[in-house]
């Protein structure tokens, strides 16, 4: 079944999907697949709740450098995407 092939491929790319690193057509494929595949939805939901928790926590001062470099990384990613 086509769906099974998608599952094998997509389940290996859940991390890239979550990080927004998939090509547009792969992202579309993933979103369609997630609608009817609980096995793939579950890890995404876990990542989402983990991220929500991480974002809701106030970083303490000892982690300032981590958050600073994280922001830098995100910002440089945006710059690369907007280029051209
Ligand atoms: Zn799946």
The domains of the chain are located at 2-82
Q: Report the C-alpha gap between 78 and 11 in whole angstroms.
A: 26
Q: Report the C-alpha gap between 51 and 27 in whole angstroms.
A: 19
Q: How far, in Å, is the centroid of ligand 1 from the Cα of 41? A: 7
Q: How far, in Å, is the centroid of ligand 1 from the Cα of 29? A: 11
Q: Report the C-alpha gap between 13 and 15 in whole angstroms.
A: 5
pLDDT tens digits for range 58-79: 656 555 666 666 667 777 776 6
Q: How far, in Å, is the centroid of ligand 1 from the Cα of 58? A: 34
Q: How far, in Å, is the centroid of ligand 1 from the Cα of 53? A: 25
pLDDT tens digits for range 9-45: 999 999 999 999 999 999 999 999 999 999 999 999 9
Q: How far, in Å, is the centroid of ligand 1 from the Cα of 4? A: 7
């Amino acid at each position: 079944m086509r769906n099974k092939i998608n599952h094998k491929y997509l389940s290996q790319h859940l991390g890239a999907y979550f990080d927004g690193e998939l090509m547009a057509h792969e992202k579309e494929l993933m979103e369609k697949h997630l609608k009817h595949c609980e096995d793939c939805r579950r890890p995404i939901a876990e990542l989402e709740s983990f991220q929500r928790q991480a974002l809701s926590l106030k970083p303490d001062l000892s982690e300032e450098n981590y958050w600073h470099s994280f922001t830098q990384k995100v910002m440089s990613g945006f710059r690369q995407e907007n280029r051209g």
